[in-house]
Structure 1
Amino acid sequence: MGSEPMDIDSQLSAEEIKTQANQEYKAGHYADAIRLYTQAIAASPNTSTYYANRAAALTMLKKYKEAAEDCRVATTIDPSNIKANLRAAKCHMNLGNLEEASRQYQLVLSQDAENRQAQRELYNLHQLSNYIKQADVFMENKQWGLASNALDRAIALADPDAVPFNWRVKKAECSLGQKNYSEANRLANELVRLDSQNPDALFLRARVLYKQGDNAKAIAHCQESLRCDPDYAKARVLLKKARALESQKEAGNAAFKSSRLQEAYELYTSALEIDSENEGTNAKLYSNRAAVLQKLGKYDEALADCNKALELDSTFTKVYSRRAACYMELEQFEEAVRDYKQLNETEPGNREYRSLLQKAELELKKSLRKDYYKILGVSKDASDSEIKKAYRKLALQNHPDKNPDDEKAEARFKEIGEAYAILSDPQKRQRFDSGVDIDGGMGMGGGGFDGAGVDINDVFAQMFGGGGMGGFPGGSFPGGSGGYPGGAGYQQQRRPNANGYSNGSYSFHFG
């Protein structure tokens, strides 16, 4: 057994040594008992009881494989050694050899049909065997949660501290199927540590790495598995997929770095078609393709790819940053703020994320007030002349005199004047762009500048002239039927609105 013999009286008989061993066993000194039983076996190698007793001590130390071998020797010497059969059955059950365990119990019952221990333990074995069969069926149907539960029930009927190797493999496969990669990874690592030359353990580790998107390490583990078993077909199939995915992804990365964006897009797209079940790599591919689309200014499509990446891996931090940037470009500031908050919670000390969150929050605040650029229909980098031209057109289209009794047109006219008053003034425009609260009117809720202290009628008068249509060549009114005579007959006056009070609009009177 590989143990050093104890110092015992060489004059003792094998039976006397066995008696000392029994005393050590009863005292719970199992290692000492094993050494003494070994001495007794050396003194009398054909005594069945010594092997059976040593098997009992080995069982207490959970050395089931060695104990099962001692039981085999004991029953070979004495086929009627029922104790050896019972211990062998227990050992084989804990080793996962259920058919052999059942055979041993049947041998006991064939000699003693009323043996209560054999009856009880055989019943438990049948239950355990049923749970293992259920787990296999559930795994075939990819019902991973049910399979894991059935395995747990089986393990509870055996030795939870010494789970058979193949049952551990099944548990790891269930965790992998449930996408609990951390647990699958832990179990796979344990299996490799137990037996670094086991092709099943190496292949399982490769599968976990592959699912997590670490193709390089998955390839290495597949190669090692095939070195241990060159005929391992599953490892060869996975190796081929992992190599193809890694090659295509790296080619896409190289194209992206060289600004060959369309080529990168096509490479990432074709890589996504290789294996729809490789969630780890596919999450990276969607993220990378989103980066390409972002560079191409296709923000809606980039956003869709970011969402797909996060569906596959909700912990993929980089994607939240990329998606938030797309939201900012699409002026979906509330969503951008949400993602930047997520990033700041994940990495509270990251200054860049904190700065981006502050910018998004400012843009969100600005988006909730009146957008004077949108009111005038110009871009945020519009020139002074473009702003003036837009105002001329909209002010005349919405002037109350052109839209009598239209309160909406009157409201639009005032809003247009308010927008022009701010954007035509360089200092006010700069403050508006920066989000500064001017005159208390740029707060949340879309209140705007509350006119920014400007009389809209004055704005209109300044733009078009106080005494005529001088603002337009030839005195003609754009969009009108024909022209207005001269400009001399143009007069400004207040007129009552429908409610009988002055609404600050203009009337045109021509002589």
Structure 2
Amino acid sequence: MIVHEKHREELLQDQEQDHGDCLPISSSNVTSKADAEEVKRAGNEEYKKGNFEEALRLYDSALAMWPDNAACRGNRAAALTGLRRFGEAVDDCHEALRIDPSYGRAHQRLTSLHIRLGHIEDALKHLSLASPQPDPIELDKLQTVQKHLGKCLDARKAGDWKTVLREADAAIASGADSSALLLATKAEALLPLNLLDEADSAISGASKLDYPFSRSSDTKFCGFHANAYILYVHAQVDMALGRFDHAVSAIDKARVKDPANTRVVTMHNKVKAVARARSLGNELYNSGKFQEACLAYGEGLKQHPTNKVLYCNRAACWFKLEQWEKSVEDCNEALKIDPNYTKASLRRAASYDKVAYLPPPTI
């Protein structure tokens, strides 16, 4: 993979500058710095070829010899970005600025990183600090992402989930291609559209992205603390797919991170209630108490009326009670939510088979 020409120029500019010369002058220090520069140049060559792992190793070696080299720290951030280790890249840029507060290249990299992460306010701040005249390409990208993100959040408030999806995808395509928050927003929008597999894929992608918001504990999104929002959506996806224990774990963590958020508290109570209902229903079913199990699953459905697993479990109870028409009805409800739900399809087929052999009603 060959590096974009803009990134190639950035490294060459860094190579020409000597930031953060904080060590006392001595012959050993001069030698160490000269060696560090040579190793850094080797790292730059590997970076240009797209060999980010090797570039990172060389930058680490250079920094071991010259820890206060801001340019090398900035180049390390570039290699980390190439490896999609965005949180570490952000940290390295801030470390470069600690060494040399006038290092504009670090602000430029932070602008680019925050655009990719979908952090508009942070991107705007670093864009203004990068140079007196903002980079017009970065400014245009930032404004485009900001426009689509704004429309996405407005649609979310209105419950217009199709528009949420369209605008989230547009923001991602415009530059916010590594935004955990946008992927979580997509997952949240996919749930009411009954696109459960797609929602699962989106929230899984969000969880894998490297940016723990503890680095910026005040980051907010849609009135949530950022990490809490991702966990809040994850709990909903897990619950919809029948991963009740995972849902409880996610919403417990969300409540710890954002304890005063009323939506988190409400969802916490809801997830706990549904998980309890499912657990009780399973216990009753396994004990042969099928009527009581039906009631338990029904209590869960009052809290979460689009839960395919609870419908399918209740259908199993109706089947055991020889109320096969009700079993078919609950399987149908489960299949409305997820047409590819194999267990519900098989259970419905078994119930239809029983209905076919029912005696005709007496007149």
Question: TM-score by structure 2 length?
Answer: 0.67
Gap change, CA 1:266 and 1:237, over 3 Å in 2? closer
What's the counterpart of residue 189 of structure 2? 174
- Fraction of identical pairs, as percent: 25
Conserved 8 A contact 1:283-1:312: no
Q: C-alpha deviations, 1:235-269, integer Å up to 9, x for none?
A: 531333214432563477479x458x6x6776666
Q: Which runs of 5+ in 2 are unaligned?
A: 1-30, 213-226
Alpha-carbon shift at residue 123 of structure 1 (Å): 1.4
Match of 1:246 among 270, 278, 301: 278
Q: C-alpha deviations, 1:267-290, integer Å up to 9, x for none?
A: 666555444343431354356447
Alpha-carbon shift at residue 68 of structure 1 (Å): 2.5
Match of 1:55 among 77, 82, 89: 77
Whole-Å separation in 1 of the counterparts to 2:267 and 2:283:
24
Q: C-alpha deviations, 1:8-31, integer Å up to 9, x for none?
A: x96944444443433333344433
What's the counterpart of residue 361 of structure 1? none
Conserved 8 A contact 2:42-2:58: yes
Match of 2:355 among 304, 316, 326: 326
Whole-Å separation in 2 of the counterparts to 1:247 and 1:148:
34
Amino acid across the alignment from 2:148:
Y
Gap change, CA 1:249 and 1:312, over 3 Å in 2? farther
Gap change, CA 1:323 and 1:83, over 3 Å in 2? same
Question: Is the counterpart of residue 123 in structure 1 residue 119 in structure 2?
Answer: no
Gap change, CA 1:269 and 1:103, over 3 Å in 2? closer
Gap change, CA 1:253 and 1:27, over 3 Å in 2? closer
Q: What's the secondary structure of 2:89's corresponding residue?
A: helix
Conserved 8 A contact 1:175-1:184: yes
Alpha-carbon shift at residue 307 of structure 1 (Å): 4.8
What's the counterpart of residue 215 of structure 2? none
What's the counterpart of residue 85 of structure 1? 107
Alpha-carbon shift at residue 125 of structure 1 (Å): 0.9
Gap change, CA 1:25 and 1:76, over 3 Å in 2? same
Point out the more displaced range, 226-235 or 47-56: 226-235
Alpha-carbon shift at residue 222 of structure 1 (Å): 0.9
Conserved 8 A contact 1:65-1:95: no
Question: Is the counterpart of residue 141 in structure 1 residue 151 in structure 2?
Answer: no
Q: C-alpha deviations, 1:108-146, integer Å up to 9, x for none?
A: 35x2x2x5xx12211111111222222222233333232
Alignment of 1:388-403 (within 5 A): none
Whole-Å separation in 1 of the counterparts to 2:56 and 2:338:
52
Alpha-carbon shift at residue 100 of structure 1 (Å): 0.9
Amino acid across the alignment from 1:153:
A
Q: Which has the higher helix share?
A: 2
Conserved 8 A contact 1:223-1:239: no
Q: What's the secondary structure of 1:62's corresponding residue?
A: coil
Point out the more displaced range, 76-85 or 267-276: 267-276
Q: Which runs of 5+ in 1 are unaligned?
A: 1-8, 333-377, 380-511
Higher relative contact order (CA 8 A, sep 6+): 2
Conserved 8 A contact 1:55-1:66: yes
Conserved 8 A contact 1:245-1:271: yes
Q: What's the secondary structure of 1:148's corresponding residue?
A: helix
Conserved 8 A contact 2:300-2:310: no
What's the counterpart of residue 240 of structure 2? 211
Whole-Å separation in 1 of the counterparts to 2:151 and 2:199:
21
Question: TM-score by structure 1 length?
Answer: 0.50
What's the counterpart of residue 294 of structure 1? 323
Cα root mean square deviation, aligned = 4.0
Amino acid across the alignment from 1:119:
P
